[in-house]
């Protein structure tokens, strides 16, 4: 079940560097793309840095709407992740082609992609030079949610069923799934 995540803890949903899906809506048009180059930038309010390649349909819609949802898909969605990253919403309806369902949250224009395990609704911070020089966008979250199967109310659970695990893109359609969880031994006083 999707449950709210306090904004001050929402950065933790992205801290382990998973592949994300980015969704957007603008004037009745809705699209979704995959993005691996997403990382936390600040804690509270949470900021993420997001690379959005030039000339993509998703970027055009985001620059128009100024809002987006960044979400973390699971290994169960691996073919859809690769698929939405490999074609343009200008040419196809990705929602239909990749059998992605949409959920809605009040006050959030972009749809949330069903089946993901973490979501952040965010606004673009106005940094036009970063976008033009580096395709880099800074976004600030204004709401976040997680599937309570993977989130314990404070952070991502250490142990989750295989089908709900998140993935990391190596290259060329090859991904690594979250594996064993380890806790570091504090050796501060060593």
Residue ranges in contact with a second copy by CB under 8 A: 12, 15-18, 36-42, 47, 49, 51, 75, 78-83, 86-87, 97-98, 130, 134, 136, 138, 155-156, 158, 165, 167-188, 190
- Tell me how far, at minimum, the Cβ of 186 lies from a second copy, in Å: 7
Considering only CA atoms, which of 21, 24, 49, 16 is closest in space to residue 34? 21
SS3 label, residue 107: coil
- Tell me how far, at minimum, the Cβ of 27 lies from a second copy, in Å: 27
- Tell me how far, at minimum, the Cβ of 56 lies from a second copy, in Å: 15
Q: By C-beta, is 18 or 25 nearer to a second copy? A: 18
Using CA atoms, how far apart are residues 74 and 90, in angstroms rounded to an integer? 25
Query: Contact, 18 vs 168, CB < 8 A?
Result: yes
Give the contacts of 133 (CB within 8 A, at least 6 positions apart).
Answer: none
- Tell me how far, at minimum, the Cβ of 118 lies from a second copy, in Å: 12
Q: By C-beta, is 13 or 121 nearer to a second copy? A: 13
What φ, ψ does residue 83 adopt, rounded to 5°?
A: -65, -50
Q: By C-beta, is 18 or 111 nearer to a second copy? A: 18
Using alpha carbons only, what angle is made at residue 53 by residues 52 and 58, rounded to the nearest 5 degrees? 65
Q: By C-beta, is 79 or 104 nearer to a second copy? A: 79
């Amino acid at each position: 079940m999707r449950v709210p995540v306090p904004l001050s803890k929402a950065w933790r949903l992205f801290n382990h560097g998973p592949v994300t899906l980015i969704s957007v809506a603008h004037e009745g048009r809705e699209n979704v793309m995959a993005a691996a180059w997403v990382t936390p930038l600040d804690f509270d309010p949470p900021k993420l840095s997001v690379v959005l390649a030039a000339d993509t349909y998703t970027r055009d819609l985001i620059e128009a709407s100024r809002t987006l949802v960044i979400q973390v898909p699971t290994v169960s969605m691996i073919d859809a992740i690769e698929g939405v990253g490999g074609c343009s919403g200008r040419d196809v309806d990705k929602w239909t082609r990749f059998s992605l369902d949409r959920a809605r949250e009040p006050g959030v224009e972009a749809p949330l992609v069903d089946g993901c395990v973490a979501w952040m609704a965010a606004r673009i911070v106005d940094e036009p030079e970063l976008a033009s020089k580096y395709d880099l966008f800074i976004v600030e979250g204004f709401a976040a949610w997680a599937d309570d199967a993977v989130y314990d109310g404070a952070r991502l659970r250490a142990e989750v069923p295989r089908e709900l695990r998140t993935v990391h893109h190596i290259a060329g359609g090859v991904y690594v799934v979250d594996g064993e969880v380890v806790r570091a031994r504090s050796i501060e006083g060593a």
